[in-house]
Amino acid sequence: MVDERTHYIPSGCAISGIMAEDGGRFSGREIIESIAAMHFRSNGLGGGFAGYGLFPDHAEDYCLQMMYDDPSGREAAEAYLHERFEVVASEEIPTRPVEVVKNRPILWRYFLRVLPTTRQRHYDLTEDDVVVDSVMEINRSIDGAFVASSGKNMGVFKGVGFPEDIGEFYRLDEYEAYTWTAHGRFPTNTSAWWGGAHPFGLLDWTVVHNGEISSYGINRRYLENFDYHCALHTDTEVICYLVDLLIRKHGLNFEQAALVLAAPFWDDIDRMDEEEQQTAHALRVVYGGALLNGPFSVVIGHRNGMVGLNDRVKLRPMVAARHESRVFIASEEAAIRVVCPAPDKVWAAEGGKPIVAALKTPAAAMG
């Protein structure tokens, strides 16, 4: 029997994602079992999940899942939300007692629609832009309030603890989704706190990350040029905002975004054929401030799919598999086989090359 006090995975962090490309929804129990198989990559200081297709009765409403330190933070945030949105529904996020999950914040959920008066006032913004602006303002300016997720028909559930305990705490076995992602361990270079656990979300984008972004300072300053403000004190936050900028705002596809985030070395670009070389060179020049340096493997969730991406030299592990309509991405093959013992295909991710899974029938047009 392994002694968990003396045996750890030196590369740290566990990430996992499961998606049904046919849109079939399945219980959160599967993603809990998958991430629990990598228990020794975690350390009890952070864990979390994202799910898509959770709220079909509110599929077209923005779902803000909030964490509050105290009632005054909730009061201030709700006053702000009522100024900009119609609150269609409001409820406490259901939880169950789990002995090892302690010091929980106030957890609340709102289903929102942008008010006509807000659209008129911000006529030059899309509704998604209004939500992004609101998330930035709450996280940056309202003490004791933090937005955990802000997309449609999805949610992020995270906290301080081992991921399997966080999943039990949030009663994820009672939810169904067509895509689930999960993370175990704490955010790099950050003290453990509920808002700083993975996944990080903005609109329908969520990111779980194994590694460390040494370019965080450059990426953060670059994002400020586009009115994204990093308030969560961890390097992973920039990945989520860069994905929103590149894909939703600037219209890049996932392959192009990968050439920005995990940009090939100049020597590798020189060896590409002419068309690929022109594209890679242009993206590298235009988006130099968005290049992610450092080791990373990430799973990016969105309403229409799931993407896995390694850094360009593959300094963190990532394995993928397919079985019928299911796509699996994880740090370890064991996390896949515990929920899918006999996949049709298993392969290791290539450095800088995205693994793209997509709904056969899109949930909605992105952006």
pTM for the full model? 0.94
C-alpha distances in angstroms, 362 versus 23, 136, 303, 322, 367? 9, 28, 8, 19, 13
CA atoms within 13 A on the CB side of 231: 20
- Residue 13 annotated as catalytic: yes
Residue 330, pLDDT above cutoff 70? yes
Question: Tens digits of per-residue pLDDT, 167-226?
Answer: 999 999 999 999 999 999 865 666 678 888 899 999 999 999 998 899 999 999 999 999
Question: Tens digits of per-residue pLDDT, 32-82?
Answer: 999 999 988 888 788 999 999 999 999 999 999 999 999 999 999 999 999
State mean pLDDT over 267-277: 93
199 preceded by a cis bond (ω within 30 of 0): yes
| Phi and psi, residue 288, nearest 5° | -55, -35
C-alpha distances in angstroms, 346 versus 113, 333, 334? 42, 8, 11
Q: Catalytic: which of 13, 230, 240, 340?
A: 13
Which residues, 6+ apart, have CB-to-CB distance to 335 below 8 Å? Answer: 14, 16, 34, 35, 37, 38
Q: Helix, strand, or coil here: 157?
A: strand
Q: What is the mean pLDDT of the chain?
A: 93
Residue type at 33 in one-letter notation: E
Residue 367, pLDDT above cutoff 90? no
Give the pLDDT band of residue 233 (cuts 50, 70, 90). Answer: confident
Name the more confident of 212 and 340. Answer: 340
Class of domain 14-358: alpha beta
CB neighbour burial string for 183-201, b if at least 16 within 10 angstroms, e if fewer:
bbbbbbebebbbbbbbbbb
C-alpha distances in angstroms, 205 versus 12, 96, 103, 264, 327? 23, 27, 27, 24, 18
Q: How far apart are CA 193 and CA 333, in angstroms?
A: 29
Which pair of tokens denotes residue 13? Answer: 């962090």
DSSP 351: B
What pLDDT is attached to residue 188?
Answer: 60
Angle between helices 127-141 and 71-84 (to 10 degrees): 160
Delimit the domains of the chain by residue range.
Answer: 14-358
